[in-house]
Chains A and B, each alone.
Chain A
Amino acid sequence: MASCAVRGGCPSDYVAVSIAIFSMISLIVRTTFPFLIHKVPSAKRSAFWIPVIQIIASFNFLLSIAMAINFLKYKKSHWWLSCYVWAVWFEGPLGFGLLISCRIAQAFQLYYVFVKRRLPPIRSHMFLPLILLPWVAGAAFIHEKKPLNYRCHLGTHWIIPVVSLHTLYVAVLMGFTGAIRHIEFRFDELRDLWQGILVSASLIGVWVSAYILNEIHDDILWLQVVSRFMLLFTASILVLVFFSISISQPLLSQISLRKREPIELKTMGQALGIPDSGLLLHREEAVDVDPNEPLDKLLLNKRFRQSFMAFADSCLAGESVHFFDEVHELGKIPIDDPVRRIYMARHIINKYIIAGAAMEVNISHRIRQEILTTTDLTHPDLFTNALNELIQLVKMNLAKDYWSSMYFIEFKEEARMRCCGQEMEEMTGYDFSPRLSSVHASDDPFHQDHFPRGFTQDNHASYSH
């Protein structure tokens, strides 16, 4: 007993280590499961990296506790097995510090977006290293001074600053979370944060008591073994509880391991509960569409918008119409519901405005900057200038071709059929747009091909005999 308490290798130690391994495995499974089984596309940017960093940090933390506090019997001859590497570097900057910093980065983003209603001034990938600096500085300082004894314990004098650094970070996290406690988040962000705080606070509590016990009762061997076991055990459980996929994208957060409901929500509009989002209801009247009316008025009609969107997609110019659609959805959220407006605005910005976005729209630099540096994400006219520019663009590029395309003809047919209550006749002719020939539609491919005005009519006639 005496030897195992000092040099490691007690049965309780092996139990603790296996619990730690088990918890790491469950953590990894829990993170990758949604991606592998439900085949959700991995999110980009900080939404993806922050959970990954959290897993790595959790692993480092558990490993550091296992290695530093004499759990296993091994020779400590190599430099990489030294105390400083594990108890100082892996526990601090790469373990606990990193874990808390990820949460602080998340809270900081949420604070900026929902309380200040602006996009955060510093991106996460720069903010995270920045707030990790005190940890790195502290670790370097301790490494210089080398106060650890042969059993990897800090003296009482050193414990105080180290524990205060840990507590400070938890306090900062509490501060940011407290500032956003009154916001009604949609996707459990606040719950995740409080969970994180609770967990990290208890962990520090356990840790402090274990260290104090270790220090004061250095000679009581069973206390050493027990406190060691408790440290690793609690760390394992709490690392698992601490972590969750903490992003505010509804698609991923809706996925749970239990798969309670089928995944129905396809758009942000639906996830936010915007009425009639993404649905084509019967009560949408079949308005008689007049090409002379301004395009932006016509686009307010959902059926027309869907038809025009399909046409624009076929010409590879669909993002502008999708943008119009989502800004229209944003307009349906009442002004006195800033939280939902912010979610939707952020979603639109990430999808359409940011350079390199999935469906980036063709707007000028000034208008893009206006949106990205806005001081009020809930402003009703946030996207008005961009929308105007894009409607101009669409008008000048697509409107004329749309009126002579099959999409419009089908739209008119549908409207006529619906209003006359008949079964829809099957449309003859291919889906053809004069802008991009999906089919080489001429009868005689060796002659010169023009696309004169009456072409679609001719085409239609020639195939409907």
Chain B
Amino acid sequence: MVEQLGFVALVKLVEVSEEHSNDFLNFDLRAFCVGRLSKNRQHTEADTEENAQTAEIERRIEQETKAEKHIQKLLLLGAGESGKSTIFKQIKLLFQTGFDEAELKSYVSVIDANIYQTIKILYDGSKEFAQNDVDSSKYVLSSENQVIGEKLSEIGSRLDYPRLDKELAEEIGNLWKDSAIQETYARGNELQVPDCTHYFMESLQRLSDANYVPTKEDVLYARVRTTGVVEIQFSPVGENKKSGEVYRLFDVGGQRNERRKWIHLFEGVTAVIFCAAINEYDQTLFEDEQKNRMMETKELFDWVLKQPCFEKTSFMLFLNKFDIFEKKVLNVPLNVCEWFKDYQPVSTGKQEIEHAYEFIKKKFEELYFQSTAPDRVDRVFKVYRTTALDQKVVKKTFKLVDETLRRRNLFEAGLL
């Protein structure tokens, strides 16, 4: 059909794409059309159907332009490993068709990779601690486990990982249970140990089954560092089945090199969902082991808030990984992070957890108001406590987000 596009229609397409503020999304289309313009010059004469088709195309273009204006653009931003892609997966599960068997099976290699990489990090870490630490004996493995460790470390540095079988699973399990590895894991914040470690290491038998098909939970726990930009379009269908807003959600990589790509997405954003993992106050960055993760998140949030494109954009701050935070905050005080150095614990148990959480929330709110110019004060800012792995929590949170955005839309349209 494209071949039969008339010259006029192609020009129209180029005009439409140029109107769109988001240059990047329509880049390919524009390039394609411009390329086509030159090729199609010889077709312009003597095609009487052309006029009818041109009219049809123009109608479609108008429809599309109208539709584009109704689509709300949401960005998932945040530092590396803050939970953006997990939220993204959850949205896919909640509002799209979910994962079918083929897609679930495609995660087997990802989960295998996670396991091999994690055990390698732990084993190499134990060797490093044994060398450098004062109390080195507790990081020394038993001799059989050392042999296993060397073998697994070699597998972990390969490009293609073998499928996890019962034998390997048992070896990994034995290594995991070794006290030296457990001691190393206790100091996992000094290494780049992923959050899914415990979950996968405790399920090795199930994961090594020959007919293993990952569950939804396994897929949510699987860790894949995102590079580039991914998007989905969805509509959260309400309970009364009225068609809701159409959202286009973008997921990005969080590491420093990936952030230079964010700028392509900043135009015309309805809301930014900023993910901050609150358990990371004692960890360092994957891409820079000299920098504390919470400090990086703080600076990044500040930077995002000050972006000129986000003058009227709503900000939804997801204070994520609450489940890990709960367990950590009672053992590791918040003051290890420079930003929280004025924190004073008040009690123990659940109360303390709540107190610590409120403290962090207040810090972020203070940062928001510090970084927001007076003329932007009326943009929406909401903070949510999330655990991206928990579908109920995400569903509830998103419902609140959706409501907030709808209310804001009505307000903007002058109907509220």
Contact = CB atoms under 8 A, between A and B. Distances in A.
A362 B28 contact: no
Interface string A416-456: 00000000001011111001111110010110111111000
B159 interface: yes
A357 to B, nearest CB: 8
Most chain A CB within a 10 A radius of its CB, from B1, B257, B261: B257
B233 A360 contact: no
A126 interface: no
A314 interface: yes
The number of chain B residues touching the other chain, given as a range, is: 35 or more
B170 interface: no
B287 A364 contact: yes
A393 interface: yes
A398 interface: yes
A362 B224 contact: no
A438 B26 contact: yes
B230 A436 contact: yes
Contact of B258 (A294, A362, A452, A465): A362
Nearest to A451: B232
A398 B228 contact: yes
Most chain A CB within a 10 A radius of its CB, from B68, B192, B230, B255: B230
A435 B3 contact: no
A40 B27 CA distance: 25
Contacts of A436: 25, 229-231
A449 B96 CA distance: 9
Given A361-B257, A438-B27, A450-B96, A397 B226 contact: yes
B392 interface: no
Contact of B289 (A294, A366, A391): A366
Nearest to B222: A396
A39 interface: no
Contacts of A315: 228-230
B257 A296 contact: no
B235 A393 contact: no
A444 to B, nearest CB: 9
A394 interface: yes
Contacts of A312: 228
Contact of A316 (B28, B102, B264): B264
A428 B4 CA distance: 10
B2 A430 contact: yes
A315 to B, nearest CB: 4
A392 B28 contact: no
Contact of B1 (A365, A449, A465): A465
B394 to A, nearest CB: 19
A127 B34 CA distance: 50
A220 B224 CA distance: 84
A448 B241 CA distance: 13
B106 interface: yes
Nearest to A448: B235
A424 B287 CA distance: 45
Most chain B CB within a 10 A radius of its CB, from A363, A435, A445: A445
B142 interface: no
B387 to A, nearest CB: 24
A317 B227 contact: yes
A320 interface: yes
A320 B225 CA distance: 13
A450 B98 CA distance: 10
Contacts of B78: none
B153 to A, nearest CB: 13
A361 B383 CA distance: 32
B63 interface: yes
Contact of A430 (B29, B106, B255): B29
B32 interface: yes
Nearest to B258: A362
A80 interface: no
Given A296-B159, A366-B289, A396 B3 contact: no
A428 B234 contact: no
Contacts of B264: 316
A439 B29 contact: yes
A440 B113 contact: no
A325 interface: no
Contacts of A189: none
B39 A445 contact: no
A388 interface: yes
Nearest to B255: A362
Contacts of A465: 1
A435 B226 CA distance: 12
A435 B26 contact: no
A317 B113 contact: no
B39 A316 contact: no
Contacts of B215: none
Interface in B106-154: 106, 110, 113
Nearest to B97: A450
Contacts of B64: 440, 445
Most chain A CB within a 10 A radius of its CB, from B1, B228, B232, B264: B228
Nearest to A369: B289
A328 interface: no
Contact of A437 (B25, B63, B257): B25
Contacts of A388: 157-159
B226 A365 contact: no
A362 B288 contact: no
Contact of A396 (B29, B31, B224): B224
A296 B192 CA distance: 26
Contacts of A320: 227
A319 B258 CA distance: 10
A150 interface: no
B1 A464 contact: yes
B124 to A, nearest CB: 10
A398 B253 CA distance: 13
A393 B224 CA distance: 8
Interface of B: 1-3, 25-29, 31-32, 39, 60, 63-64, 67-68, 96-97, 102, 106, 110, 113, 157-160, 192, 224-235, 237, 243, 246, 253, 255-258, 260-261, 264, 285-290
25 contacts: A317-B228, A355-B256, A360-B256, A360-B260, A365-B286, A366-B289, A397-B224, A397-B227, A428-B1, A430-B2, A431-B29, A431-B31, A435-B228, A435-B229, A436-B25, A437-B231, A438-B26, A440-B64, A445-B64, A445-B68, A446-B67, A448-B234, A448-B235, A450-B96, A450-B97
Given A368-B287, A462-B1, 7 more contacts: A365-B285, A365-B290, A393-B227, A426-B3, A437-B231, A443-B60, A450-B97
